[in-house]
Amino acid sequence: MIHDDSGARVTVSNRQRLWKVNTRGLARVARRTLDLIDATDSQLGIVLVNDATIAKFNAQYHAMSDPTDVLSFDYGEGQGELIISVECAVRQAKRYRTTPVRELVLYIVHGILHLHGYNDVTVRDRRRMRAAERRLMVCLLPPIRPNSSK
């Protein structure tokens, strides 16, 4: 578990053992994301799990038995929690030809946006959310550039 004392309070707990994860780096990303959306007084818990665990949470809270990438829980007064499947990040990274780290960062951004009023239910809401994700991702990570041969 990592506690970060500057700005927003972010706690990252790695409860899966399939993949190594830089929890300090993810805490920095979350804190920076909260800073970028002017939510520096927030308290955020991030729990990294496997597909089986997130599927249980998804069934319990959303009546869907499949694993998902991220679940957001808003506890009010600037407090929230993200449950993130690392297994899903690895799988989706292969599918979208990116890296698991970029996927995890995207899940953090996506979850934080949910906690701060964004939704992706309607097409319009989804477009708005994707645009916000892109803006934040550019600030958080360098773009992936295709390999160029000289």
What is the per-residue pLDDT for 37? 96
The ranges of the chain with pLDDT < 50 are: 1-5, 148-150
What was the pLDDT predicted at 148? 46
pLDDT of residue 150: 42
In CATH terms, the superfamily for domain 2-140 is: Metalloproteases ("zincins"), catalytic domain (3.40.390.30)
Q: Where are the chain's structural domains?
A: 2-140
pLDDT at 149 (0 to 100): 46
Contacts of 61 (CB under 8 A, 6+ apart): 71, 73
The reported pTM is 0.90
